[in-house]
Amino acid sequence: MVKSNLLEFEGDVVIVTGGARGIGKSTARAFSEQGARVVIVDIDRDKLEEAKESMRSDNEVRAISADVSKKDQVENVVKKVVEEFKRIDVLVNNAGRDMGSVPVTDVTDEMWETILRVNLHSVFYFCRCVIPVMIENGKGNIVNVASIAGKEANENMAPYAVSKAGMICLSRVLAKEVAKRNIRVNSVAPSLTRTDLLNELSPEQFEKLLEKIPMGRVGTSEEIANLILFLASDRATFITGQCYNISGGRGDY
């Protein structure tokens, strides 16, 4: 049954990684405005505190500084949340990095490993830790923020595109594994979005990617957040294992 209360996530505990800016910050704020108790996780301590202060003052908001690419720090975040709230209702894996336009022949081991650790390994670590908590609670929702680049590969962005394709596949695998446990797992695939990641692109690469968007503009972090909230809500109870393009018309499947 769809909740009639305007505060659709009232009392729910929501973790948002990469929550200090961009899509993560907008998503955390949107959940907070819907009554959730939000835990924002980010490696940038200063931006993290700024994001926390921008949330609704009458709701519980926690800020935890952590490097999500490190297994022990992810485990510590989940442990802290469970100790305080005894549950986790929604997990949004949004933390991500890019390193701009680099052909495969110039990608260093460090670049490859860094992008995969932040964009993909972190999702695996968080899901592995959080799913048992959700199973114990009898329900849960996971939304992973991928990219249209994980579907329609962009040249000179191999580490980023591969990491996002891996995230989409992992989401589908997990969705099948936990479908009968009342846990749903979906992902979203934004195209160009007005976030700090755009600064990693050269002007030429930005224009080339913009030309692929039929609507002729970049998306906003608020638009992405709206889709994430929908997928995590009781309005999407028969949706799992899907990856939704939010791309202004770009994308083949």
Summarize pLDDT for 85-136 with one digit per residue, the tens: 999 999 999 999 988 789 999 999 999 999 999 999 999 999 999 999 999 9
Residue with tokens 């680099």: 102
State the average pLDDT over residues 162-184: 98
Higher pLDDT, 59 or 203: 203
State the average pLDDT over residues 19-41: 95
φ, ψ (nearest 5 deg) of residue 42: -160, 155
State the average pLDDT over residues 49-71: 87
d(CA 180, CA 203): 47
Least confident span in 23-37, 53-67, 70-84, 154-168: 53-67
d(CA 186, CA 92): 10
d(CA 55, CA 69): 25
Q: Give 193's DSSP letter.
A: B
The catalytic residue among 125, 160, 244, 253 is 160
State the average pLDDT over residues 13-42: 95
Q: Pick from 141, 192, 142: which is nearest to 170 by CA? A: 142
DSSP 90-108: EEEE-------SB-GGG--
Q: Where would I find the H helices in the chain?
A: 22-33, 45-54, 71-85, 109-116, 122-137, 158-178, 203-210, 221-232
Label residue 3 by pLDDT band (50, 70, 90).
very low
CATH superfamily, domain at 13-242: NAD(P)-binding Rossmann-like Domain (3.40.50.720)
Q: Pick from 97, 99, 111, 100: which is nearest to 205 by CA? A: 100
Return the pLDDT at 7. 72
Q: Pick from 1, 24, 2: which is nearest to 14 by CA? A: 24
Label residue 252 by pLDDT band (50, 70, 90).
low
Residue with tokens 């720090």: 73
Model confidence, pTM: 0.92
Per cent of the chain over pLDDT 70 is: 93
The answer, yes or no, to whether residue 2 has pLDDT greater than 50, is: no
Return the pLDDT at 110. 96
Q: What is the pLDDT of residues 210-229, one digit of tens each?
A: 788 787 888 899 999 999 99
Q: Average pLDDT of the chain?
A: 91
Tokens standing for residue 175: 């969705």
Tokens standing for residue 172: 């589908």
Residue 21: Cβ within 10 Å count: 18
Rg of the chain over all Cα atoms, to the nearest angstrom: 17
Answer yes or no: 160 catalytic.
yes
Tokens standing for residue 106: 């110039």
Label residue 137 by pLDDT band (50, 70, 90).
very high
